[in-house]
Amino acid sequence: MENKIVVAGIGPGNEEFITPAALKKIRAAKFLVGGRRALSEFSTANQITCAITRDLDTPINFIRQKIQLGEVVVMVSGDPGYYSILDLLKKNFPPSMIEVIPSISAMQLAFAKIALSWHDATLLSFHGRQPARAALEYSAGKILGLLTDAEFNSATISKILLDCGWDKNSSVTICEKLSYPDERIFTTTLDAAANAEPVKHCILILR
């Protein structure tokens, strides 16, 4: 039987939000891949590890080698099915080799924190990409949930949304460092967010 690549979601950051199923796989792993922060939190001295950095060839080559010897566990932030390294793994390995352990996405936690249902929300990502303008345009009752990055941050995205017909007094909730001790969640207007100090990696919820 071929060895599996287990893609384990670790939740938004704080260990309290990781599932027991993911934790069990991570603890039992001989070969462990993940971001530097995840590795420093979860890896132990007897595990053979590989860090995910900008150079994505390194973890792919590590997995190619180690999978000959046993299971490889890849830790990803939030849920693996929501903007993670899963798509790249599927380009490099057959689906039969990949097992996914789902987890709580930062997007889910952001909506939970403000007690807002997300079934009617339009969820889009500005993380290393730009959504189509049509998806961003204002319509009455629209709720937007957005992933951000350093370039497309709370200020630049707010400017884009003003240009897409959102009123300057629309409510924007900025959720930063969700689940961490220094978590910050605040609600302001689109106009104020466009002109304030940018918050880089966060979730934005527009109403």
Which of residues 17 and 66 has its CB atom nearest to ligand SAM in the complex? 17
Binding site residues, ligand SAM, CB under 6 A: 12-13, 76-79, 82-84, 105-107, 127, 147-149, 175-179, 201-203
- Shortest distance in whole angstroms from residue 128 CB to ligand SAM: 7
Say which residues have a Cβ less than 8 Å from residue 117's Cβ, sequence separation at least 6: 111
Which of residues 150 and 192 has its CB atom nearest to ligand SAM in the complex? 150
- Shortest distance in whole angstroms from residue 73 CB to ligand SAM: 16
Which of residues 22 and 176 has its CB atom nearest to ligand SAM in the complex? 176
Per-residue buried b or exposed e for 82-110, using 16+ beta carbons within 10 Å of the residue's own CB: bbbbbeebeebbeeebbebbbbbbbbbbb
Which of residues 7 and 66 has its CB atom nearest to ligand SAM in the complex? 7
- Shortest distance in whole angstroms from residue 130 CB to ligand SAM: 14
- Shortest distance in whole angstroms from residue 68 CB to ligand SAM: 28
β strands within the chain, DSSP E: 5-9, 31-34, 48-51, 72-76, 98-101, 122-125, 144-147, 171-176, 184-189, 202-206
How far, CA to CA in Å, does 184 sit from each of 77, 120, 179, 181?
A: 18, 24, 9, 9
How far, CA to CA in Å, does 201 sit from each of 49, 104, 153?
A: 26, 17, 7
Which of residues 49 and 79 has its CB atom nearest to ligand SAM in the complex? 79
Chain residue at closest Cβ approach to ligand SAM: 78
- Shortest distance in whole angstroms from residue 99 CB to ligand SAM: 17
